[in-house]
């Protein structure tokens, strides 16, 4: 998995935490008030509380399934409508008790700002604006629609305290999530710096094989063995390194280590023809001297350029396109190949493929995973393979885990594969043994 693919991992974790808090609030309030209003004979209000309880459970289940977008849409819509309904019909302000249902709009607004922070402004700001405007209207006016459904003043006197306390607890929970993640990120930044100095980072290698099973290359993947935490997931440390800028020294170390590995392989007959793919982050690639770094590393270790391949992500293509193309041409002149990773998941455009001097495109594992069960994924995989063939580009499928997936890809002229069907990522010595055994079987 590449750095850019992992760059949103912290944000996804934040969203899940926020959704858990939201689900807890909905279920807690819904269950408590449901029982109360049912016992007092306010069945219409009890029905609304039941909807909140069910919605909270649904949000919890969707979050468990990692359907976070749908979960957030559900919690936002249900909560907004419930607040509006209560503020207009049930929680009617009077001389005895003010309206307090609208306080939950503050919680919803803060949650929306945190969840939508990486979304386009045209989505983020209108939604936030509507929530703030609604809060201001309910907080500044006594607008309501008095009816027989209005909650009695005696109940609302108690509800004022409950709503105010619960809304503030929700706000505190969201602030705590943000502060906790900031503290975790700062701590991890310091650990990453120490880890680089102590050489706690290392590479593992996942084989890339031809249709006949012969190993022709590997993807170098960065791993971190923390002295206290053990193996730290790339999904935890790569995003922090990206945000802090530590991805630059880490990326430089990976490049040097990869070239040193290729130098060692060149002295072993069974490994001499094996290429090595290295993931490159956008920040790393966009450095003015990036091509010079590649040339220097290859010269220092005596690497044959054709053995080194750089995997670039589609998200990189939103940056200065002319600079990217110029650097790729320079790399091509050096003999270094470039592969477009996770093709089809980002900013794909046929015009990009026409302009970029690519050697390979990689079918994202998200399409490969369901290629046998999802007609859309199957169609996308076939289209990418056909496109690569027509443009003279090699196509490699990642995330191949079953023989059925491999057979489908083979039938559609895929000739390069990577995934657990062949091997998990291996330590250097284990990968070299894997290649040696593979070569022996081909004799």
Residue 3 has a pLDDT of: 40
Residue 273 has a pLDDT of: 86
Residue 340 has a pLDDT of: 87
pTM of the model as a whole: 0.67
For 20, 62, 78, 106, 291, the CA distances from 49, given in Å and listed in that order, are 18, 20, 11, 20, 61
Residue 417 sits at φ, ψ, to 5 deg, of -140, 150
Half-sphere exposure of 190 (CA within 13 A, CB side): 5
Mean pLDDT of residues grouped by 10 in the chain (443 residues)?
A: 45 84 92 93 92 94 89 93 93 89 94 82 86 94 86 90 94 88 79 92 96 93 91 84 89 95 91 92 90 94 93 75 89 92 63 80 88 90 90 92 95 94 95 86 61
Residue 6 has a pLDDT of: 39
**Which structure tokens are listed for 145?**
């629609």
Instruction: State how far the Cα of 272 lies from the Cα of 267, in Å rounded to an integer.
Output: 7
Residue 10 has a pLDDT of: 61
């Amino acid at each position: 998995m590449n750095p850019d693919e992992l760059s949103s991992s912290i944000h996804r974790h934040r969203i899940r935490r926020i959704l858990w808090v939201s689900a807890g609030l909905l279920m807690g309030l819904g269950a408590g008030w449901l029982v109360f209003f049912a016992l007092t004979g306010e069945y219409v209000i009890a029905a609304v509380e039941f909807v909140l309880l069910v919605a909270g459970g649904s949000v919890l289940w969707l979050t468990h399934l990692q359907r976070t977008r749908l979960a957030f849409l559900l919690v936002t819509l249900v909560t907004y409508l419930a607040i509006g309904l209560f503020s207009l019909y049930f929680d009617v302000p009077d001389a005895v008790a003010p309206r307090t249902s609208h306080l939950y709009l503050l919680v919803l607004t803060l949650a929306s700002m945190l969840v939508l922070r990486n979304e386009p402004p045209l989505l983020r700001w209108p939604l936030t604006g509507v929530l703030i405007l609604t809060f201001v209207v309910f907080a500044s006016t006594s607008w309501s629609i008095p009816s027989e459904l209005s909650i009695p003043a005696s109940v609302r006197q108690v509800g004022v305290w409950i709503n105010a306390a619960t809304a503030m607890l929700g706000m505190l929970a969201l602030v705590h999530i943000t502060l906790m993640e900031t503290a975790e990120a700062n701590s991890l930044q310091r650990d990453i710096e120490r880890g680089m100095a102590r050489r706690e980072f290392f590479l593992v290698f996942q084989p890339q094989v031809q249709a006949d099973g012969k190993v022709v290359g590997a993807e170098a993947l960065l791993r971190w063995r923390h002295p206290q935490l053990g193996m730290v997931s790339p999904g935890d440390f790569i995003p922090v390194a990206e945000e802090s800028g530590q991805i630059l020294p880490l990326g430089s170390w990976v490049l040097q280590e990869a070239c040193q590995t290729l130098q060692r392989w060149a002295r072993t007959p069974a490994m001499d023809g094996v290429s090595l793919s290295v993931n490159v982050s956008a920040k790393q690639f966009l450095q003015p001297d990036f091509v010079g770094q590649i040339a220097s590393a290859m010269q220092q270790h005596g690497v044959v350029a054709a053995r080194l391949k750089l995997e670039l992500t589609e998200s990189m293509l939103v940056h200065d396109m002319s600079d990217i193309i110029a650097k790729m041409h320079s790399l091509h002149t050096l003999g270094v190949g470039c592969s477009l990773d996770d093709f089809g998941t980002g900013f794909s455009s046929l015009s990009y493929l026409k302009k970029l001097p690519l050697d390979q495109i990689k079918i994202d594992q998200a399409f490969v995973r369901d290629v046998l069960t999802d007609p859309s994924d199957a169609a996308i995989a076939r289209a990418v393979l056909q496109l690569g063939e027509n443009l003279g580009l090699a196509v490699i499928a990642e995330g191949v885990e079953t023989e059925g997936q491999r057979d489908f890809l083979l039938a559609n002229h895929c000739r390069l594969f990577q995934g657990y069907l062949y091997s998990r990522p291996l330590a250097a010595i284990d990968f070299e043994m894997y290649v040696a055994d593979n070569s022996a079987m081909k004799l």
